[in-house]
Amino acid sequence: MKSPKNENQENSRRSFIKNAAIVSSIAFVPRHVLGGVGFTAPSDQLNIAAIGAGGKGASDIKNASVNGRERIIALCDVDFNGSAKRSVENFPKAKLYADYREMLDKEKDIDAVTISTPDHVHGPAASYAMHRGVHVYVQKPMTHNIQEARLLTEMARDKKIVTQMGNQGGSNPLLNMVQGWIDSDKIGKVSKVQVWTNRPVWPQGIPFPKPEPSKKPDDLNWDLWLGPAEHIPFTPNLHPFNWRGWWDYGTGALGDVGCHLIDIPFRTLGLKYPTDAEASVASIYTDMWTADYYPKSCPPASFITLHFDETTKSRSPIEMTWSDGGIKPSHPDIIPADSDIGGRDSANGVLIIGEKGIISTNINDSSPLMPKLYLNDGTTDFGPEVEKSDEPEYGHQRKWVDACKAGFNSAEHKALTSSFDYAGPMTETVLMGNLATRSYMLQRENSAGKAEFFGRKKLLWDGENMRITNLEEANQFVGRNHREGFKI
């Protein structure tokens, strides 16, 4: 029989999980002998914590618990009076923290964390955990900016951390259908990809809200919510959701769903860093002849063009366009006029356009993927419009948990669909669109004393060195300044 757990055994348990050490045949008694069918011995459980326990964080940590198979030992959130209450109810034994740094410093037995905060905290929180040898699951986008994504990708390799980004659609088995069409040359050489969304569905392209410190909820730790961003007095209408439309905290429509939509062509075509980026944005006029100018805000709508070098799967250079704010591409002739393109009502979607036909898909989150193949000769092939999955979000969190237990570079780790080796470059590509958008809005005073836009050009990108080579001012958006205490 397994001897009673003591402190030394607990330390070895954590070492076993992190390093996938070889355990002798007498270390574990079969689970059904110890506690019935489905029982997991305490020494074989992962100790998991959540950074961001409300909203999407509530489902992330619940799914990571694998129906109670794993042990949730701590929850961190800046406001447990909000939607994070659901996680407290689900895991009443978990210790509660407001500051992820305090949690990770005090709870030495944490093996892995889910990170489901606003975008601007993803990078600092993941870095803090990874420096302590803790495996990380980070919501999309992986980071707030390109530099953070590159740093975390390299850190995961160096420190042998098992990682997964929360674009759960990457684990959708129906992606294999799309990959099969590409690999079997159904649509021939691919030269163009069109991606679009109906986001934003939150306030954007407007003046930054005014601070109102007297309205701060008593239970909200505002300073910790700001994290790496510049400290400002409490400002309503940012927490818990509308932060998405402000560059200091969010990444706009691209950051919200780009890692779901762009993931599909990036993955199936084997794309690498883009070679350039060009943006244009919608203008709002509340005064005649003078467009509103709110550089703190993501625009109400944008159109972005990225180019990629030829890959073995595309066999041709690729032009990818992205449009948001409800702007979608025109309806291809080979798709019947009364049929949706992309998803339902054509609200979100991807068109992969080849010399012999088109692949159409929906957004790749937890929505039905709805893959459709249209060939120029009239041949079609459709995937199901209703998906059946045996576990939530295609097992995306559970597969990460299993990989954490198997260890870095295990078969389970290599099978993950969004470990940082993949998710890092893909996130960088998504965020290149934001870099181009922010550069498009750069202003300076000209010789006549009038403001002029000087970043409205195609930006040439040196992906390996993370630099725009033809507009130095654009490189300020590759990274960000982190407030003291939240540096990576």
DSSP 237-281: TSTTTGGGGBTTT--HHHHHHHHHHTHHHHHHTT----SEEEEEE
85, containing H or E segment: helix 85-90
CA-based nearest residue to 90, from 134, 53, 44: 53
Maximum Cα–Cα distance across the chain:
86
Nearest C-alpha neighbor of 47 from the set 32, 61, 33, 31: 61
Q: Provide DSSP, 17-61.
A: HHHT----TTS---HHHHHSTT---GGG--EEEEES-STHHHHHH
Tokens found for residue 317: 């250079």
- What's this model's pTM, rounded to 2 decimal places? 0.92
- For every residue of 439-454, which 3-state class applies, written as one string? HHCCEEECCCCCEEEC
Return the beta strands (E) in 100-233 as ranges: 112-115, 135-138, 163-165, 190-196
The token duo for 89 is: 């109810």
Cβ 231 vs Cβ 101: under 8 Å: no
CA distance linking residue 170 with residue 137, whole number of Å: 14
Q: What is the DSSP letter of 246?
A: B
How does pLDDT run across 30-83, given as a tens digit for each residue?
A: 333 344 445 566 668 999 999 999 999 999 999 999 999 999 999 999 999 999
One-letter amino acid for residue 458 of the chain: K
What the block records as the tokens of 141 is 């986008």
Is 415 in contact with 403 (CB distance < 8 Å)?
Answer: yes
Which pair of structure tokens corresponds to residue 130? 């990874």
Which amino acid type is present at position 221? N
The HSE-up count of residue 270 (CA atoms within 13 Å, CB side) is 10
- The confidence score (pLDDT) of residue 5 equals 41
> 277 forms bridges with which residues in the sheet?
306, 459
pLDDT along the chain (488 residues), means of 10: 43 51 34 45 87 98 98 98 96 98 98 98 98 98 98 98 98 98 98 98 96 97 98 97 97 98 98 98 95 96 98 96 97 98 98 98 96 98 93 97 98 98 98 98 93 96 98 98 96
